[in-house]
Amino acid sequence: MNAPAQESLVEYRLVRWHLFAAGAALLVSMVAGFEYSLQFLGFFPHPGNELASPGHLRLMHTNLAAYGWLVNGFTAMMYYVVPRLTGKRIWSRKVGMLIFFTWQFILLATIVGFLYGKCQAIEWGETPTGFRPGSFDLNWIPVDSLVVLGAVLLISQFMVPLFKARHQKFYVTLWYFTAGLVWLALTYLMGNIVPEWVLPGAAGAAVTGLFIHDLVGLYVTPMGWGLMYFFVPLILRKPIWSHSLSVIGFWALAFFYPLGGVHHFLLSPIPDYVEFGAITTTIAIEIVVTTVVVNFFMTLRGKWGALRTSMPIRWFYAGAIMYFLTCLQCSFQVTWTFQKIIHFTDWVVGHAHMIMFGTFTFWLFGTIDWLWPRVTGREWHSDKLRSWHFWLSTVGIATMFVDLTAAGLIHGFMQKDLNDWMDIITASVPFWWVRTFAGGMMLTGFLCMFYNMIATARSNVLYEEEKHLVPAQAE
Amino acid sequence: MEKFYTLFFVAGIGCFAVAAVLSMVFPWMTLGHYHGMDYQTMEDLAAHPSAEFRELAESYPAEFQAAYGEVSPASYAQALRLGRDLYVGQACWHCHSQYVREVSNEAQRFGPVSTAQEYQNALNQPHLWGTRRVGPDLSREHGKRTNDWHIAHLLNPKNVVPTSVMPAYPYYFDEHGAPTERGFALVSYLQWLGTTWRAEEEVQP
């Protein structure tokens, strides 16, 4: 296939819109998270304000990161990638606009819902149901139902080109996208319906645990690896090292990953045999992860210089290193031995930030770094700001991870040793200062990027592809 | 292996279904049938208004009368339901857990280890176990502290715990510090937590 034909397949406007919406959502999410962290230091900026209370900001922080930043970002990326890999256009541009506006309305309604205390008691799925708990009496905009509508449209949008290409052999990226879109629909329906209306208490907890896990493992992870398999060979101008390892990585993820869901509620009233199953499969995932990470680093072999010359490659591989570390950590922390101490502590918060920010957000930053000049047709406004963004984010997340892990261990052992609860809090406060500082670095870094995105879109320096190619013979 | 239908049906639907059966249906069958646990509806839970709820009505007769009328199963149910909604909406459950584990000396610190049976009710649908403890676990909160303590604490946690990092909730109280409808609800809900716990031998079928 020649390049011009590919270019005309892509709806550039939709890519631009979703990327910008993603950035705006991340900005709100990070500001909310930063303000929330100030509560722990006694410097919350507006105490006594019911609407923007710390609890409401906490809900906005996680939900906007997931449904605002990641979903918008991955959708933009898929608008670019899927038509190129299938050779087919998306379903419809008009549906694309409908999806865009539906999705931003969902985010807006979710924010307003949170501010007014509407929330569903399902972690990572707090988007208001709009019904009184356990019943169908309407008392709010049913955001959950809109998410289902938005997700069905979104999935159809990309399933159409994938289905049209059903006689082709798919490239690795499309394995992840096809399965990931099915998983997204099933996960969201299961997680928001079963514990709310079907299974109460402990049996429901097994489902909410599975939901937290599947949302990350069966939507975010497939989208993330899909984009890595697409962009890394494209930028390095060489194929992925081993096709066999790609096959193992994909099928082992599909099989093992969803089995680990209950590990979010270990040592709980959920039956032990279910917990053991979750622990075993979670450790198995580590083997999968290793194969995939090895595959990517072997691909980079001979092209190490790209880490210096190509900003997206730097983001991608920094994210891959953190992905490996988080998963390695996970295979230990999932055991009962570790759970005794670290569950309920800041250790888990550090873990969550490392995977959601350090890995998937890094990969989307890399994607934006690569896509934004191409979809706006303008050169990056400032290379210095791109560099600042990378280093502030990297140093910030590394600091936050080490800090929160240490805080978690101290909290966990003090709790086990029956220290007075307030002594635990007092011991945690210095760590929370460092956490806020690290978060401030990450936020500043992102402000650099967001400003850079806007300035780039408004600049008049046209983008030239030739200047940015990684040399083919750099070995 | 690399075609659309395999990816859609085997990886997409198949792998998801296997996992759903193993980690959703099995625990449900174990917990639902094997233990023979009865589900408690809102009416069951509120059938006998708690001593703390009655005491709130006696301490703040005018305010309570205006918000809830008389102490009755219906008004108690209304307060518990609203109290839970506030607890969910303010994300209390993201800093306070609601289950006691059998490790880390938690039984000594908080009270009896949690059982599956105590969550089999309308106010635990969905459950509020939480995954983080900035503040202590609340699943044994029933009767541990007085209503007055809770009111002083919610008005401003530093009133009773000087080094607390918990936010204040002054908007659940009127200008004299008396609870409003929402203040009564939250205190009633907190005082309810843990009342459904039964010793293991009492719940065996």
- Segment B133-188, tens digit of pLDDT: 999 999 999 999 999 999 999 999 999 999 999 999 999 999 999 999 999 999 99
Q: Is the pLDDT of residue A402 over 80?
A: yes
Residue B114's pLDDT is what?
A: 94
Among A289-303, A329-343, A424-438, B14-28, the range scoring the smallest mean pLDDT is B14-28
* Yes or no, beta carbons of B11 and A201 under 8 Å apart: no
Nearest to A170 among B4, B18, B39 (CB): B4
Nearest to A53 among B3, B90, B131 (CB): B90
Contact assessment for residue B138 and residue B83, using Cβ atoms and an 8 Å cutoff: no
* Yes or no, beta carbons of A200 and B86 under 8 Å apart: no
Nearest-Cα distance to chain A for B63, in Å, is 21
Q: Is the pLDDT of residue A6 over 80?
A: no
Q: Is the pLDDT of residue A455 over 80?
A: yes
Query: Cα(A194)–Cα(A19) distance, rounded to whole angstroms?
Result: 33
* Yes or no, beta carbons of A179 and B7 under 8 Å apart: yes
Contact assessment for residue A406 and residue A431, using Cβ atoms and an 8 Å cutoff: yes
Q: Helix, strand, or coil here: A40?
A: coil
Residue A464's pLDDT is what?
A: 86
Q: Which residues of A touch B124 (CB under 8 A)?
A: 200-201, 204
Q: Helix, strand, or coil here: A197?
A: helix
For residue B27, what is the nearest residue in chain A, using CA coordinates?
A203
Interface test with B, best of A178, A219, A273, A413 (most B CBs within 10 A): A178
Nearest-Cα distance to chain A for B104, in Å, is 4
Residue B34's pLDDT is what?
A: 53
* Yes or no, beta carbons of A258 and B114 under 8 Å apart: no
Q: Is the pLDDT of residue A474 over 50?
A: no
Q: Tokens in use for A196? A: 């709310």
Q: Helix, strand, or coil here: A17?
A: helix
For residue B161, what is the nearest residue in chain A, using CA coordinates?
A422
Q: Which residues of A touch B22 (CB under 8 A)?
A: 259, 274, 277
**Rounded to the nearest 5 degrees, what angle is found at the Cα of A438, between the Cα atoms of A434 and A442?**
165
Q: Which residues of B touch A182 (CB under 8 A)?
A: 8, 11-13, 16
Reported confidence tier of residue A346, pLDDT bands at 50, 70, 90: very high
Nearest-Cα distance to chain B for A336, in Å, is 9
Q: Which residues of A touch B118 (CB under 8 A)?
A: 201
Residue A1's pLDDT is what?
A: 40
Mean pLDDT computed over every residue of chain A: 93
Q: Tokens in use for B33? A: 């049938």
Reported confidence tier of residue A465, pLDDT bands at 50, 70, 90: confident
Residue A7's pLDDT is what?
A: 63
* Yes or no, beta carbons of B19 and A258 under 8 Å apart: yes
Q: Is the pLDDT of residue A34 over 60?
A: yes
**Rounded to the nearest 5 degrees, what angle is found at the Cα of A194, between the Cα atoms of A222 and A29?**
50
Residue A139's pLDDT is what?
A: 75
In DSSP terms, A144 is beta-bridged to none
Whether A110 has its CB under 8 Å from any CB of chain B: the answer is no
* Yes or no, beta carbons of A47 and B164 under 8 Å apart: no
For chains A and B, count residue pairs whose Cβ atoms are closer than 8 Å.
256
* Yes or no, beta carbons of B26 and A271 under 8 Å apart: yes
Q: Is the pLDDT of residue A400 over 90?
A: yes
Whether A9 has its CB under 8 Å from any CB of chain B: the answer is no
Residue A137's pLDDT is what?
A: 72
For the entire predicted model, the pTM comes to: 0.95
Reported confidence tier of residue A442, pLDDT bands at 50, 70, 90: very high
Q: Given the cut 0.85, state whether the ipTM is greater than it.
A: yes
Contact assessment for residue B7 and residue A178, using Cβ atoms and an 8 Å cutoff: yes
Q: What is the pLDDT of residues A252-263, one digit of tens each?
A: 999 999 999 999
For residue A349, what is the nearest residue in chain B, using CA coordinates?
B132
Q: Tokens in use for A2? A: 């020649």
Residue B31's pLDDT is what?
A: 80
Nearest to A202 among B91, B93, B116 (CB): B116
Q: What is the pLDDT of residues A162-202, one digit of tens each?
A: 999 999 999 999 999 999 999 999 999 999 889 888 888 89
Nearest-Cα distance to chain B for A393, in Å, is 25
Q: Is the pLDDT of residue B33 over 60?
A: no
Reported confidence tier of residue A131, pLDDT bands at 50, 70, 90: confident
CATH class, domain A1-168, is mainly alpha
Long-range CB contacts for residues B39-42, cutoff 8 Å, separation at least 24: B39/A200, B39/B120, B39/B121, B39/B122, B40/B120, B40/B121, B40/B122, B40/B196, B41/B121, B41/B122, B42/B77, B42/B80, B42/B81, B42/B122, B42/B123
Q: Helix, strand, or coil here: A345?
A: coil
Average pLDDT over residues B6-21: 93
Nearest-Cα distance to chain A for B3, in Å, is 5
Mean pLDDT computed over every residue of chain B: 92
Residue A69's pLDDT is what?
A: 97
Residue B179's pLDDT is what?
A: 97
Q: Where are the alpha helices (DSSP H) in A194-237?
A: 201-214, 221-236
Contact assessment for residue B170 and residue B156, using Cβ atoms and an 8 Å cutoff: yes
Contact assessment for residue B187 and residue B52, using Cβ atoms and an 8 Å cutoff: yes
Residue B38's pLDDT is what?
A: 80
Among A51-65, A123-137, A279-293, B74-88, the range scoring the smallest mean pLDDT is A123-137
Residue A5's pLDDT is what?
A: 59
For residue B173, what is the nearest residue in chain A, using CA coordinates?
A48
Average pLDDT over residues B105-131: 93
* Yes or no, beta carbons of A55 and B125 under 8 Å apart: no
Residue B35's pLDDT is what?
A: 58
Query: Cα(A282)–Cα(A257) distance, rounded to whole angstroms?
Result: 7
Query: Cα(A314)–Cα(A320) distance, rounded to whole angstroms?
Result: 10
Query: Cα(A151)–Cα(A71) distance, rounded to whole angstroms?
Result: 10
Between B154 and B23, where is the model more confident?
A: B154
Nearest-Cα distance to chain B for A381, in Å, is 41
Reported confidence tier of residue A475, pLDDT bands at 50, 70, 90: very low
